[in-house]
Structure formats: C-alpha cells, structure tokens
Amino acid sequence: MIKKSNHQNQPWSLSDSNYAWDEHKLGRSHKYIARKLGRSEKAVEINISKTRVRLNTTPFTLEQSVGPAVVKHTRKARAKKQVVVEHDQKYWVTFFIGFAGGIFGAVVTAFIL
C-alpha cells in the first residue's frame, strides 16, 4: 500500500505549483488536484489564483519608440517691485474715525455706569 504524503503544512514547491497549474489548464477539478498533491481544495484554489496573477503580470518596460522626455522652458523667478505707499487723506480719516469712535464709546460707557 502506498502511503499518501501530507503536504498541508508545507510551503508550495515550484514543481507542485507548476503541476497544479498544468492540471488546471487540462481542465482537472480542484478536488482532483488536491487529492493528487495531498493538500486541501482551498489551498489549491488559492495557489492557482496566485499563479494566474503571476503569469499575467509582466514586468514594466519602456517602449523602444519613446524618446527622451520633453522639458518645458524653465521660468526665472522675478523679484516683485516694492510699492511705496504714500499717506493719503483716507488713511488719516480712517484713523480719526476710529479714534473718535473709541472716545465716544468711552463716554457712553462712563455715562451708563
């Protein structure tokens, strides 16, 4: 009698993974592959799924027709000119209105208290 080897707690070897993938490509069920490899059906299903992703993924390569990157013209930083603000009448008017309002507020507050 041939003793079945139990590989359920073993990591997948490349030959086992390739065998499972080849059998899957031939149309064998996960149950059949699991019995042959001594693993669970879910483990076979996961391994086949990972193998499918691994085979469909190609490494990134640049196309040969792509030339060097096009660089736009760089802009030079320009210093802004400082604008000198002249004291206009409107600034003085704003100052006096604020000052008068403060005095008026103080008088009203003193009268109420």
| DSSP for 17-56, written as a single string | HHHHHHHHHTT--HHHHHHHHT--HHHHHHHHHHHHHHHH
- Looking at residue 2, its pLDDT comes to 46
Check whether 31 has a pLDDT greater than 70.
yes
Check whether 14 has a pLDDT greater than 80.
yes
Average pLDDT over residues 27-48: 92
Q: Are 44 and 20 in contact (CB under 8 A)?
A: yes
Question: Hey, what amino acid is at 106?
Answer: A
- Among 26, 16, 6, 10, which Cα is nearest to 50's? 16
The model carries a pTM of 0.46
**What are the sequence ranges of the domains in the chain?**
14-56
Question: pLDDT, tens digit, for every residue of 41-63?
Answer: 999 999 999 888 887 766 666 66
Average pLDDT over residues 36-45: 91
